[in-house]
């Protein structure tokens, strides 16, 4: 999984609670991304960041928040406003957001709402 770590691997949350998923990379990549994966569906982009202290909403940002205070770190908070948060969450990074650059993925965090 190439220098990208995500923690925890499994996370259980009660309804109404906020939880934060960690993503760290030591690849010196500028761009970082958060995706959500549901069974039978491809990945959907939640948020992305092309540079420190800047981030943009993806296709399904509602109910999520992020920060990018350090180049290495891009934590994702799943808030109580997210109606159906149970899913597999994947973090990725790339050298830049340029069109040629492939993304490298972390091992994922499986979030289950009880």
Give the binding site for another protein (CB under 8 A).
1, 4, 6, 40-45, 48, 58, 90, 92, 97-100, 102-108, 110
Of 8 and 81, CB closest to another protein:
8
Of 19 and 90, CB closest to another protein:
90
State the minimum distance, in angstroms, from the CB of residue 34 to another protein.
12
Query: Cβ atoms within 10 A of the Cβ of 2, count?
Result: 11
State the minimum distance, in angstroms, from the CB of residue 94 to another protein.
9
Element (H, E) at 77: strand 76-78
Whether omega before 74 lies within 30 degrees of 0, making that bond cis, reads no
State the minimum distance, in angstroms, from the CB of residue 98 to another protein.
7
Give Cα 96 to chain centroid, integer Å: 16
Three-state DSSP state, 69: coil
């Amino acid at each position: 999984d190439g220098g990208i770590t995500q923690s925890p691997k499994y996370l259980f949350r009660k309804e109404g609670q906020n939880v934060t998923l960690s993503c760290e990379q030591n690849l010196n990549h500028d761009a970082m991304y958060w995706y959500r994966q549901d069974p039978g569906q491809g990945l959907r982009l939640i948020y992305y960041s092309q540079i420190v202290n800047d981030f943009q909403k993806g296709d399904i940002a509602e109910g999520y928040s992020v920060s990018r205070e350090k180049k290495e770190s891009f934590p994702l908070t799943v808030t109580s406003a997210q109606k159906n948060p149970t899913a597999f969450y994947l973090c990725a990074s790339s050298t830049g957001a340029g069109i040629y650059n492939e993304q490298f993925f972390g091992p994922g965090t499986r979030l289950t709402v009880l």
